[in-house]
């Protein structure tokens, strides 16, 4: 090929024939099945249910090499939304996966059924006991939490490499540790014990976990997002940052 003569075929010498390997199946091309979409829209509301194909594909990947297209995505705004979705899932024997930042390298933030986004409306941090403890929303990044704690000469025990993006909900749910935390400062060691309170009386109930360590909701055989994480904070090697 002569210099400066266009040859776009050279950029992709191997032409793909037929659909791509990761193409969404034809039966999923219309997005969320009508029955599932209509039912969930009645629970948390139409503005909280993402059901178009583009919405579902957007949530099909995280930082891992895996790709799983969910049936529907619910952007839960409060505890009542989460409880309603879990109640529906239990009654209809459906699987629920909770997703915050999606920074995991192992695909924990993906699922092929109902996916619940607990990052958008679940931020916030309250420093307690002079920085020795903190109550943190699951959508709050570890980096943001550490900035707040640095004023007290404290930090979170877990220190994952993705702290600027990963959230406290995923860190606690996965028992994350990090580059220096090891097993002595991982999430479970920094959380006091939990206490289970029934949200409904008849069995099998949706359970609401309220404790000195974490607040969450769970369904049989499924872990929940930690709606509030109560963590014991570790001393920092750096001096306290000035309050701005």
User: From CA 201, how far away is CA 197, in angstroms rounded?
Assistant: 10
Contact, 113 vs 70, CB < 8 A?
yes
What six digits make up the tokens of 117? 């986004």
pLDDT tens for residues 83-132?
899 999 999 999 999 888 888 888 888 899 999 998 888 888 888 888 88
Q: Is this structure's pTM higher than 0.95?
A: no
Q: Is 54 helix (H, G, I), strand (E, B) or coil?
A: helix
Domains of the chain with CATH codes = 28-117 (3.30.43.10), 125-235 (3.30.465.10)
Q: What pLDDT score was predicted for residue 6?
A: 72
Neighbours of 232 (CB within 10 A): 19
């Amino acid at each position: 090929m002569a210099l400066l003569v266009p040859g776009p075929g050279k950029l992709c010498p191997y032409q793909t024939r037929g659909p791509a390997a990761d193409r969404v199946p034809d039966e999923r091309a219309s997005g969320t099945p009508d029955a599932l979409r209509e039912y969930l829209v009645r629970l948390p509301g139409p503005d909280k249910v993402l059901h178009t194909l583009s919405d579902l594909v957007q949530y099909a990947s995280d930082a891992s090499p895996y790709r799983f297209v969910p049936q529907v995505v619910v952007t839960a705004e409060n505890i009542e939304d989460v409880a309603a979705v879990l109640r529906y899932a239990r009654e209809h024997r459906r699987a629920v996966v909770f997703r915050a930042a999606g920074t995991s390298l192992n695909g924990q933030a993906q699922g092929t059924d109902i996916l619940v986004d607990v990052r958008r409306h679940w931020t916030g941090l309250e420093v307690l006991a002079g920085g020795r403890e903190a109550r943190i929303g699951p959508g709050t990044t570890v980096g943001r939490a550490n900035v707040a704690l640095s004023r007290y000469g404290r930090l979170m025990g877990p220190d994952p490499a993705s702290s600027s993006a990963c959230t406290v909900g995923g860190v606690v749910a996965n028992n994350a540790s990090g580059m220096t935390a090891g097993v002595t400062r991982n999430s479970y060691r920094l959380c006091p014990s939990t206490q289970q309170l029934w949200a409904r009386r008849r069995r099998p109930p949706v359970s609401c976990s309220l404790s000195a360590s974490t607040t969450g909701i769970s369904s049989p055989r499924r872990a929940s997002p930690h709606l509030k994480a109560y963590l014991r904070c570790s001393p920092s090697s750096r001096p306290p940052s000035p309050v701005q």
